[in-house]
Amino acid sequence: MKEYLKPKSGFRTIFFIGKGGVGKTTSSAAVSIALAKKGYNTLIVSTDPAHNLGDVFMVKLNDKPKKIMKNLYAMELDMEKLIKNYLRHLEANLKHMYRYLTVINLEKYFEVLSFSPGIEEYATLEAIREILQEGEKWDVIIFDTPPTGLTLRVLALPEIALIWTDKLIDLRRKILDRRKAIEKIQGERKFVIDGEEYKLPSDEKEDAVMRELLAYKKEIEFVREIVTNKDRTSVVAVMNPEMLPLYETKRAYDSLRKFKIPFNMIVINKVIELEEMHPKLKVRMEAQERVLKEIEKEFKGIDIVRVPMFEEEPRGLEWLEKVGGLIVGS
Amino acid sequence: MFEELKKFLKGFFGSFKARSTEYIEFEERELENVFALVLMGSFVGIPSPPTTLVMRLMPHMVREIYVMQRRATDMDDIFGEIASMFEIT
């Protein structure tokens, strides 16, 4: 069995990425079954808003882990609910300071906010973080992700968030330094708004903003530690033997490398293998051959697995186990 | 009599103290303003830090937002503020 799929230090996280419709869900479900059969306590999570993990297993799933078979649990994140919760939290926080802010009409603002760019990525990242925080319950956690673009942005977020957080911490430190200097001469300072008096914090431990910044940094570093650690995370790209999925996989490979996220395997799904060549399929077969050669050339050092196109759709446990065995290896 | 002298001295030294920190206070206000602006930048078209982070910091940002609002009102007379600090009349 492939080393990068086994849990090494703590639990193993595996992300399945790829263009829409290439068979990510089928491949990830197949791998989850294969791993469960090998005795690893496995959780498979679908983060794709267009859920079809349940369809592949032929069971109804929700946002709580549901037992599929021995050692295997599956769940589907309810993105709409997540975004709603995320915004409700935001709304509660903003209302808390509403009396100081008279410029925003909150109700209207929140109606549009759920459609604003970025919200889905942040909500997904939060959900992934929550799952990883309880990750010790499992040996392997498999994420079946939405099409490449969104996933790459989610995986890039910890790195970007850390850059922002570090900059804000620097700036905050400067403010606190100035406050401390003034405090040394003038003594403790009070700050009055609308007749209410606040003490102006000058110490890192006293300052709620700094405390939040440091707490957030810790949480995000935790996610980044996991997703950039090759002993804990593997990314598996799923693609079909066609040009467009190849380009997309190449782009994903480049950007994951930039963020130091380990990319280990490409599953080429639906490879047509014919014993007798049909003349009408000749062009298609040649194109497929070209893509397969290109893949070997482009992705050196990365494990490549071919999954043939089966006569029938691989659904249900038996079929999935067969495909899973192909991908995971014995 | 003694009380009044005490009050006078307190005011006298207080004004010294205030003068001595004037520049640092100006710098502090500017930094606080920038901090709030960065977090609420999306209102004025500046790229924002992660929403989660903004959302978590906002409830503690009373002072900074207050400073930012005041800065916005005084913006047209920023030169006046600097001039008074350097005692240019």
**pLDDT mean across residues, chain B:** 80
Taking each helix axis as running N to C, give the angle between helix B62-74 and helix B2-39, from 0 to 180 degrees, rounded to the nearest 10: 90
pLDDT at A41: 95
* Closest-CA residue to A232 (of A304, A132, A160): A132
**Beta carbons of B24 and A172 less than 8 Å apart:** no
pLDDT at A207: 92
Query: What is the residue range of B73's domain?
Result: 2-85
A10 compared with B74, residue with greater pLDDT = A10
CB-based contacts of A40, cutoff 8 Å, min separation 6? A6, A7, A71, A139, A140
* Angle made by CA atoms A40, A41, A43, in degrees to the nearest 5: 120
Q: How far is A186 from chain B (nearest CA, A)?
A: 6
Write out chain B residues lying below 8 Å of A97, CB-based: 58-59, 61-62, 65
Average pLDDT over residues B45-68: 81
Instruction: Name the residue among A168, A167, A191 with its Cα closest to residue A179.
Output: A191
Per-residue pLDDT of A291-322, as tens digits, reads: 999 999 989 889 999 998 888 777 778 888 88
* pTM for this entry: 0.82
Please judge whether A198 and B62 are an interchain contact, meaning their C-beta atoms are less than 8 angstroms apart: yes
**b/e sequence A264-296, b meaning 16+ C-beta within 10 Å:** bbbbbbbeeeeeeeeeeeeeeeeebeebbeebe
Q: Compute, in degrees rounded to 10, the torsion defined by CA atoms A221, A224, A229, A235.
A: 170
Chain B residues with CB inside 8 Å of A122's CB? 50-52
Q: How near does any CA of chain B get to the CA of A14, in Å?
A: 25
Instruction: Name the interface residues of B facing A (CB cutoff 8 Å).
Output: 17-18, 20-21, 24-25, 27-28, 31-32, 34-35, 38-39, 49-53, 55-66
Lowest-pLDDT range of A30-39, A106-115, A135-144, B4-13: A106-115
A209 and B60 within 8 Å at the Cβ level: the answer is yes
pLDDT band at A16 (very low <50, low <70, confident <90, very high): very high
Q: Return the pLDDT at A199.
A: 84
Three-class DSSP category at A51? coil
Mean pLDDT of B70-80: 75
Quick one: which of A232, A230, A235 has its CA closest to A253?
A235
Q: Hey, what amino acid is at B75?
A: M
Residue of A90, A164, A178 with shortest CB distance to B55: A90
Q: How many domains does chain B have?
A: 1
Give CATH for domain A3-328. Answer: 3.40.50.300
Interface test with B, best of A101, A104, A196 (most B CBs within 10 A): A101
Residues A43-74 pLDDT 10s = 999 988 777 888 888 899 998 999 999 999 99
Q: In this structure, is the dihedral angle defined by the CA atoms of residues A191, A196, A201 and A207, taken in order, positive or negative?
A: negative
Name the nearest CA neighbour of A125 among A188, A168, A95, A82: A82
> Where residue B89 falls among pLDDT bands split at 50, 70, 90?
low
Residue from B6, B30, B40, B10 nearest B85 by CA: B30
